[in-house]
A and B are shown apart, each in its own frame.
Chain A
Amino acid sequence: MSSNDLLVVGMSHRTSPVALRERLAVEGKALEASVREIHDSALLPEVLLLSTCNRVEVYVGGEDRERTASAVAQWLEGRAGERVSDYLYVHHGEEAVRHAFRVAASLDSMVVGEPQILGQVKEAYFASKSTGSLGTLLDRCFSTAFAVAKKVRSETTIAEGSVSVSSIAGDLAKKIFGNLDGRRVLLVGAGEMGEAAGKHLRKAGASLFVVNRSPEKAEALARELDGQARGLEALSTELAQADVAIASTSSPRFVITPELMKPVIKARRHRPLFLIDIAVPRDVDPRVGEMDNVFLYDVDDLEQVAQENLDARRREADAAERIVTLEVAAFERWRRSGVLKPTIVALRQKVRGTLAAELERTLPRLSGVTERERRSLDKMIDAMTNKLLHRTISELKAHADTPEGEALLRHARLLYELEEGSEPSAPNPVVRKNLSPAKGES
């Protein structure tokens, strides 16, 4: 009966293979169409679809559990073209709220603390909003999730310390050169990792040069990264001018050797060179790292840093989970009070209405009641309403969202003769004015 229920059905990197998620992924404009589809297919009141490369999740608000879960599973199955139930998780109520908060705060991410997820959740939120399938419940749930994510980010160090090889390379370059504006970055080879690191440094203001065995590939990569291509024969002259060099060729032998570097070092006149070797097998002879003013890092060095930073983030995750727990509790107080609110309002109206009607009947028989006395009588009616209903309302609140609570609610409605018309129904009747979950009615 609780129309304030919330549910999430989905799969993530923890539960499903990437090949399946790829088939289910929904991007950009298609997101709105898919939300509409789910919304219409099962007449679900509130729908939010979150689709990233690591998860596909459908959040539904304000409906009956079993029907919703199977409707969403059916939609996913139709899209995947195969049975997906083995990969799905379903969370209800409080657990669904916790899940939403953890996802937005990047606690459920593959790389804990990575910042993209919040943007993706926001995208899902706006897509859902623009299709009109966002009701009070999901709206409030996700607005709170954004606030929780922000709080986690500012109060813990969960997002600190780079955890990708390319951003660590960028950090290190900044530790050597300070500002990367106008620095020369040389990509030796057109490997994927090199491209990612190059992109990162390009964004920080460096200018990019590409040297590759195949000139076509060099051209293509240079175009993509807004850089310039050079032939392989230019390797040593380019090395002499570069500030950062990233080697990612597929050569089985060392490409950058001490013999090659000796004249390069001389030509560089003591300028520091940051050499990043992300090729496997390695491109740079380790002896080059012992040369003056050369800082050589290979992929193991960078990955070790990534691992250390990731471990630090995981340790920090406990603090973040505590924030989430507090916020979930506050949200739950608000959500439960939402179920009761229409009944409580109806109760008050009923009792106060009865008392006021009796007063109206009696007043003509009294003589000379002044305006002031009249106001006192009104106040008396308010006080009587509160006193009479005090126990009933506090019991309802104390047992909200439990089986006893639901029975109590039914009995209260029966005993006080509340018509079915004021039965709580979707869309959720709680007004948006009541925003702060911490101040939820309790």
Chain B
Amino acid sequence: MWVTALFGLTAALYAIAAGLYVLFLARGTEGGATWAARVLGGAVASHGAFLVSNWAVLGTVPTADIHQALAVLSLVLVLVFLLTARSQDRLHVLGAFITPVTLLLFLGAAFRRGVGPVPEGVKSALLPVHVGVNVLGLAAFALAAAAALAYLLQERQLRQKRLGGLMQRLPALDVLDTLGLRSVLVGFPLLTVGVVTGTIWAVQLHHGGFGLSAAQGFGLLSWLLFAGVLLLRVAAGWRGRKAAIGTVLGFLSTMVVLVGYMLRGTEGLG
């Protein structure tokens, strides 16, 4: 019972933190970022307690099903964000983009339609690897996407010569661009392993058959998008707006894969 209570508490704290971060970004409320960070800290503690009790009481492991994986992913995302924000004060405003995504992912963990646990027959040694790298890779991409969104917003402010508080609160373009690049650099190899293990797993499932499902299609599409962004960044010196747009699209497409899987489960793979 109190696992449910912890879930509710965590979700509520994430919602409050998200509200505070967005308010801080939009209005620059006095001490807003500090309070948002405190509430977020509370959410992380409650989230951790939720995972531990889930594991101890119900005996579920993170790789048991997509819900558990999402519950872990959302926590990893927040931790990655908090670590990043420690390095540079102004990066705190990225919470306005990160926390709503976290909340959605966390709520997704409770979304019980469509998929149940991974059936026994489908389990494979690859599963923990597949889930693990995807969780880390998605967290990196979510951070990249948050930096990219902030970049696009800041660039718009600078172009339209709106030099108000919003521009003051957002980090410098170069800082956001660099963060976006680094996050994609970290996330891309992880996503690559994720796509490869996912494909091998699907192939195993069909005893050698190789049908491209919608989930795989989008998985491949996001991999291609990020590969493109990286290639253009590294080889052609791409940066700024176009790289940011590519990053956001890549992240959206990984989210489509996730939602597709949520709705159709492993059937989506078959």
Contacts and interface: CB of A to CB of B under 8 A. Distances in A.
Contacts of B236: 269-270
A175 B154 contact: yes
A292 interface: yes
B158 A172 contact: yes
A175 B241 CA distance: 15
A292 B174 contact: no
B173 A272 contact: yes
A175 B167 contact: yes
Given A175-B173, A305-B163, A270 B158 contact: no
Interface string A168-191: 100010111111000000000000
Contact of B175 (A178, A272, A292, A301): A178
Contacts of B163: 168, 172, 305, 308
State the main secondary structure of chain B at its contact with A.
Answer: helix
Given A295-B158, A297-B161, A176 B240 contact: no
A270 B154 CA distance: 17
Contact of A176 (B161, B173, B238, B242): B173
Contacts of A272: 173-174, 239-240
B159 interface: yes
Given A269-B236, A292-B241, A293-B240, A301 B172 contact: no
A271 interface: yes
Interface in B143-171: 154, 158-159, 161, 163, 167, 171
A177 B239 contact: no
A305 B168 CA distance: 13
User: Which has the most chain A C-beta neighbours within 10 Å: B174, B236, B240?
Assistant: B174
A243 to B, nearest CB: 9
B105 to A, nearest CB: 30
B237 interface: yes
Contacts of B171: 178
What interface size band does chain B fall in? 10 to 19
A301 B163 CA distance: 10
Contacts of B161: 297, 301
Interface in B226-270: 236-242
Nearest to A168: B163
Interface string A305-341: 1001000000000000000000000000000000000
A177 B178 CA distance: 11
Contacts of A297: 161
Contact of B158 (A176, A269, A271): A176
A82 B36 CA distance: 64
B38 to A, nearest CB: 24
Nearest to A171: B163
A177 B172 contact: yes
A270 B159 CA distance: 16
Contacts of B167: 175
A175 to B, nearest CB: 5
Contacts of A301: 161
A168 B168 CA distance: 12
Contacts of A174: 172
A216 to B, nearest CB: 36
B269 to A, nearest CB: 39
Contacts of A178: 171-175
A205 to B, nearest CB: 14
A305 B162 CA distance: 9
Nearest to A293: B240
A270 B238 contact: yes
A177 B154 CA distance: 12
15 contacts: A174-B172, A175-B167, A176-B172, A178-B171, A178-B174, A178-B175, A269-B236, A270-B237, A270-B240, A292-B241, A293-B239, A295-B159, A297-B161, A301-B161, A305-B163
Given A178-B172, A270-B240, 10 more contacts: A172-B163, A175-B173, A176-B172, A176-B173, A177-B172, A177-B173, A178-B175, A270-B237, A292-B240, A292-B241
Interface of B: 154, 158-159, 161, 163, 167, 171-175, 236-242
Which A-B residue pairs are the 10 nearest by beta carbons? A178-B172, A269-B237, A178-B174, A178-B175, A177-B174, A270-B239, A176-B173, A305-B163, A301-B161, A175-B172
